Structure 1
Amino acid sequence: EIVCCDCPADFDIVAEECRGLYTTVLSQKTDTLAVSIEKCQEIEHHPIIIRNIDDQMYWMNNRWSNSVRVIGLMCNNTFKLWQWIDGSAMLFKPQKYDKELDEDCRPGNSWYLFPVAILFLVSNQTMFFADAP
């Protein structure tokens, strides 16, 4: 048998996607999403996209769950709506965050996964978060 995979070493294949920790970046830049996109593009991938509860649980409970991870949500400047960095619509919204996700977004905001919260938004030094379920 011949098995081929385009996932980098130590990545998992989940739901036909490569998922894993590529690198750790300590950035003083305010636009951490741009830094994450740039680093992920080095291996032709993208930051975390959460399309359903299974995706959310994977990223919450994996071996990197003690680190802060950037979520691949970006602000569509034309429509002022959050969308995934691959251009797809954000159809899944974790409970407790639907209000923030339904409000008009502002460019430069970033969402994160933290060990104690599902998503975390930094908006001009104002932080919003909710407890994990």
Structure 2
Amino acid sequence: MRDAEEARTQPLGPQGRLGRGSVAPVLQLLSLALFTVVLVVILVKVSKVPSYQERRQEKQKIDKEMSQLKTGIAGLCRPCPWDWTLFQRNCYFFSQSKRNWADSVIACQDMGAQLVVIKSVEEQNFLQLNAKNKGPTWMGLSDLKKEGVWQWVDGSHLWFSLSNNWLPGEPNNDGDEDCAEFRGDGWNDGKCRVEKFWICKEPAASCSSP
């Protein structure tokens, strides 16, 4: 009985317990495993970073695309400003608001244009159709300087070939009507102080090939 108790109280030998000499190898294994994991993570990240040659090639590709884009934009040419309509090498602005005749003249001048001056039958037909869809619309024609002598805002006189565009019985100067307007299917002389739609005209830009 005593021998058994002594046997239980005796310290364990190298085979009976984990000695200090066994701890070091375990720590080394753990350190090696951790180092391996860290190394793998670093290698994965490095593999995702493009090389200098790849970055250079990508930059050259972007520079080439930008150059092509700039060339394409430079080749574009709008003969007329936005919201203007092109017709036979001229640009026309059809107003959305109404002004009296004098203010319409100024509005066109402020845009670098003039209240429309008609130079051909084709232009007249184009303008008459568009004005008819809007309602009474001012043109750049008046006899303000001399009653019965109709002049355009550029100082030129009304061509005889366009005189047949007056509606039947017009111009009649009814109540001091000195400014010409598009009305329905023809022209009418109206009171210059009345607010109506208006049309501006300017030459189209020249789009020459590079």
Same fold (TM over 0.5): yes
For residue 82 of structure 1, what is the aligned residue in structure 2? 150
Instruction: Considering fraction of residues, name the structure with more helix.
Output: 2
Q: Deviations over 1:24-66 (max 9, x none)?
A: 12x4xxxx22111011112111112222211111012237723
Paired letter, 1:84: W
Letter in 1 for 2:179: S
Counterpart secondary structure, 1:65: helix
Gap regions ≥5 residues in structure 2: 1-71, 193-210
Q: Which aligned pairs between 1:1-133 and structure 2 lie closer than 5 A? A: 2-5=75-78, 7-25=80-98, 27=99, 32-62=100-130, 65-75=133-143, 77=145, 81-91=149-159, 92-95=161-164, 97=166, 109-114=178-183, 116-122=184-190
SS at match of 2:150: strand
The percentage of aligned residue pairs carrying the same residue is 18
Count of residues paired in the alignment? 115
CA shift, 1:108, in A, is 6.6
Q: Answer whether contact 1:59 1:65 (CA < 8 A) is retained.
A: no
Q: Describe the shift of the 1:78–1:110 C-alpha distance in structure 2 as closer, same or farther (beyond 3 A).
A: closer
Which has the larger displacement, 56-65 or 40-49?
Answer: 56-65
The 1-side partners of 2:165 and 2:131 are apart by: 24
Q: In structure 2, do the counterparts of structure 1 residues 81 and 71 end up closer, same or farther at CA, with 3 Å as the change threshold? A: same
Q: Is the 8 A contact 1:22 1:40 kept in 2?
A: no
Q: Which has the higher contact order (CA 8 A, sep 6+)?
A: 2
Whole-angstrom distance in 1 between the partners of 2:115 and 2:181: 11
Work out whether residues 70 and 113 of structure 1, in 8 Å CA contact, stay in contact via their aligned partners in 2.
yes
- Bigger radius of gyration: 2
Residue ranges of structure 1 left out of the alignment (5+ in a row): 125-133
Aligned CA-pair RMSD: 3.3
Q: Structure 1 40/64 Cα, relative in aligned 2: closer, same or farther at 3 Å?
A: farther
Partner of 1:130: none
2:9 is matched with none
Structure-2 change in CA distance of 1:63 and 1:79 (3 Å): closer
Q: Is the 8 A contact 2:179 2:190 kept in 1?
A: yes
Aligned to 1:59, the other structure's residue is in SS state helix
CA distances 1:78-97 after superposition (whole Å, capped 9, x unpaired):
69621110112211324263
Provide the rounded CA distance (Å) in 1 between the counterparts of 2:110 and 2:101: 14
